[in-house]
Amino acid sequence: MEISSAEFWGYVRQIGGGAVVTMQLFVAGFSLALALGTVIGIITLSRNVVIQAVWRVYSSIIMGVPSLLVIFLLYYGGSAILTGLFGMSRSIDVTPFGAGLTALTIVYAAYVAELLHGAVRNLPKGQFEACAALNLSAFRAWRHVILPQVARLAFPGLVNIWLIVLKDTPLVSLAGLNDLVANAKIAAGATNEPFVFFIAASLFFIVFSALTMPLAARIEVRFNRGLARVNT
């Protein structure tokens, strides 16, 4: 089927609007997962039995279950969960965006926390002993000594999670979010041109990740500047 260029650009504009939604969800999801995962990671370094048990169950479930299921669970059951948690009498509507954002945050926070554990384990013990010897408070030790080094060690893994979250974001369209993929699917169905629109949609993701790679490389160089060789 031939389509006029006006019609074509109309679809492109619609897909562009969807791309904005996808990017918002992705950036918000990744940032929240990073923040929550860091907090969870620090808390679960404790040897407290209860904390360890909760962490083990949480991480094991998250790492053994598809993220799509978590999205569905939070979307279908979200309002029931909220009512159950806060005991509100009126039901709250859960939007696909809200459910997707919560699901991405919960799932990838576990991966970030796991990454942080690995990085902390790779840190020389002397760093912690030095903090104790200098009588730094726990907050200051983490803020000024441990976390900056953890950030350096965990950064490559974080880039990996960044890419995985990017590729998981379109799954939220299956909960009804009107994002890039949903709009591409509408356009492909209406115009009978699946190749054009789906390849364009996948190129969007590929180009975006390709564009962030040089940025990641620069950040990594900056993190490693303390270990870089002297330029002679």
Partner 1 sequence: MNALVIDFALVWESLPAMLNGLWTTMLVTIIVLVLGLIFCIPLTLARMSSNRVFALPAAFFVMFFRGAPLLILLYLVYYGFGQIEALRDGPLWFIFGSAFACAVIGLTLNHLAFMVDVVRGSLEAVPAGLSEASNSLGIAPRDTFRYIQLPLAMRYGIKAYQNEVVMLTKGTAVISVITIIDLTAVANEVFERTYDPFTPMLTVAAFYWVLVNVMRLGFRRLESHLNRHHAAEDARRNEKPVKTIGSLLFHPSSWLKAKRSMLVARKEHAL
What residues line the site for partner 1 (CB under 8 A)?
56-57, 59-61, 63-69, 72-73, 76-77, 80-81, 83-84, 114, 117-118, 121, 166-171, 173-174, 181, 184-185, 188-189, 192-195, 198-199, 201-202, 205-206, 209-210
Cβ at position 43, least distance to partner 1 in Å = 14
Q: Residue 134 or 207: which CB sits closer to partner 1?
A: 207
Alpha carbon separation from 89 to 77, 85, 94, 187, 222 (Å, rounded): 16, 11, 15, 41, 52
Q: Which is nearer to partner 1, 26 or 131 (CB)?
A: 26
Name the residue nearer to partner 1 (CB basis): 69 or 130. 69
Report the chain's terminal Cα–Cα distance, integer Å: 64
In the complex with partner 1, the residue whose CB is nearer, 69 or 217, is 69
CA neighbor of 33 nearest in space, from 109, 97, 101, 107: 109
Do 108 and 37 touch, CB atoms closer than 8 A? yes
Give me the least distance between CB of 181 and partner 1, in Å please: 6
- Between the alpha carbon of residue 73 and those of residues 64, 80, 98, 164, 172, the distances in Å are 15, 11, 12, 20, 12
Q: Tell me how far, at minimum, the Cβ of 166 lies from partner 1, in Å.
A: 8
